Amino acid sequence: MKPLYYATALVTALAGPALSQQSNPAKTGLSEPVIRLTATLNKNQDVIGLDAAQKEDVKNWVATMPAHRKALEDETVALRAEMKAAIVSGAPVEARQALADKIGANEVKLVMMRSNCTDHWREVLSPDQFSKLIELASAM
């Protein structure tokens, strides 16, 4: 019985600090964009030379899309916490695999949200504006 107790204590001690970061998406890397376009575009609308329609598009995008991303990030953080509990409690492999599959699917969605965001700005901006945006974002 002692070895099981010590193993559980060790797993909990080692997992605690690493997994405690998962309550904050910024610390997990979930919030880290593949490329920082929207924030750069929002801050540099005049430098990039946006017209009124483009500025309205940016305004609408910023008002809605970050909330969608945040909701998915929060769900993924919750799934990771569930996975931690499943690992520590010795849940069946099938249950842990199902959680891992959900976490993986959410990670893919998050990356594709960033990719789709880039496609959106590529459509909204002229080629010259988009090039300027990439240049500014790369400097950050």
Q: What is the pLDDT of residue 33?
A: 63
Please tell me the predicted confidence (pLDDT) of residue 28.
Answer: 62
Nearest to 133, CA basis, from 68, 48, 60: 48
Instruction: Find, among 54, 34, 32, the residue nearest to 130 by Cα.
Output: 54
Report angle CA 85, 90, 94 to the nearest 5 degrees: 95
- Which pLDDT tens digits describe the chain residue by residue (140 residues)? 554 444 444 444 444 444 444 455 556 665 566 668 999 999 999 999 999 999 999 999 999 998 999 999 999 999 999 999 999 999 999 999 999 999 999 999 998 998 899 999 999 999 999 999 999 998 87
Report how far residue 115's alpha carbon sits from residue 134's, in angstroms, rounded to the nearest whole number.
14
The closest alpha carbon to 22, from 103, 97, 126, 131, belongs to 103
Cα–Cα distance for residue pair 116/108, rounded to 1 Å: 12
- 10 contacts: CB under 8 Å, gap ≥ 6: none
Spatial contact of 36 and 137, defined as CB atoms under 8 Å apart: yes
- pLDDT at residue 36 in the model: 82
